[in-house]
Amino acid sequence: MRYVVLDTETTGLDPDDGHKIIEIGCIEILNRSVTNNTFHKYINPNREIDIEASKIHGLTYNKLKDKPLFEEVYEEFSDYISDSPIIIHNAPFDIGFLKKEYLDLSKTVNFFDNEIIDSLKMARKISPGKKNTLDALCERYAIDNSDRTLHGALLDAKLLAYVYLKMTIGQNNFSNLTTENVSKNSDHVVEVDNFKIIEPTNEEKKLNLNYFDNN
C-alpha cells in the first residue's frame, strides 16, 4: 500500500487574500516503510512573503524569485501524488492552498479524489486534550526532530511520516476511541469518523518495531 505524506509552506495564512505556496514536500510510505522516493520543490510566489510567515520557515522572496512558478511544477507534482491516499497535518490548510493554486491555473485537481488523511484529526482522537502539534507528536512518539529549527516542507513531511507510522502501529493506540466513532471495515481497516486508518498486519508490526529499534 502506498501513501504520500505532504506538507507545504506559504507566503501567509489565507489563499483568498492572494497568499501562495512557496514550498511543497512529499514523502512516500510504501508497505509501511518510508522510502527515498520524495518530491520537493521551492516555488516562486510572484509576491512578497509576510514577515510572520518568514519567521516560521525562514524563506524570503529574494530566495525564491529564481525558482519555478507553480504552473511549471504542478504536472510533476500531480504525477507524483497519483491516486495514493495523502496524509497531511491539518489538512484543510494545505488543501485550501492547493485548490486555489490549481483554480488559478484553471486546471482540474484530479488528486482531490484521493483519500485525505488528516493526522491532526487522528491525533486529537487518539490523545484528546493533549497538544498535537508536529513537535509535540515527535516528543510523544520519541522521534528525533532536533534538526527542525525552522519549518520546512520536506523535513516536516518526513517527521510526519514517522509520526503516522507510530500512531498506527498497534491497536492499543485506539484504546480511547469509542465504538460510536470507530468501526471495522475489514481485517485491517479501522474507520474513525470520516477517515480510514489501515492497521498493520502482525508481520508489518514486527518489521516496524525492528526498524525503530535500529534507527
pLDDT digits (tens, 9 = 90+) for 150-200: 899 999 999 999 999 999 986 333 333 333 333 344 344 444 444 444 545
Query: Catalytic residue at 151?
Result: yes
Q: Is residue 31 part of a domain?
A: yes
- 135 exposure class (CB count in 10 Å sphere: 0-12, 13-18, 19+): middle
Rounded Cα distance between 109 and 94, Å, is 14
Q: Is residue 208 part of a domain?
A: no
Rounded Cα distance between 111 and 135, Å, is 28
Q: Is residue 37 part of a domain?
A: yes
Q: Which own/partner pairs from 125-129 qualify as long-range (CB within 8 Å, at least 24 positions apart)?
A: 125/176, 125/177, 125/181, 125/192, 125/193, 126/167, 126/173, 126/174, 126/176, 126/177, 127/176, 128/176
pLDDT digits (tens, 9 = 90+) for 39-84: 999 999 999 999 999 999 999 999 999 999 999 999 999 999 999 9
Phi, psi for residue 189 in degrees, rounded to 5: -120, 120
149 vs 161: which has the higher pLDDT? 161
Q: Is residue 67 part of a domain?
A: yes
Q: Is residue 110 part of a domain?
A: yes
Q: Is residue 177 part of a domain?
A: no
pTM of the predicted protein model: 0.78
Query: What type of residue is 214?
Result: N
Domain count, the chain: 1
Domain boundaries, position 93: 2-172
Q: Residue 36: give its domain's CATH number.
A: 3.30.420.10
Percent of the chain with pLDDT over 70: 77
Q: Is residue 191 part of a domain?
A: no
- pLDDT over 90 at 202, yes or no: no
The one catalytic residue among 40, 89, 151, 188 = 151
Provide the grid cell at 53.
Answer: 510567515
Q: Is residue 123 part of a domain?
A: yes
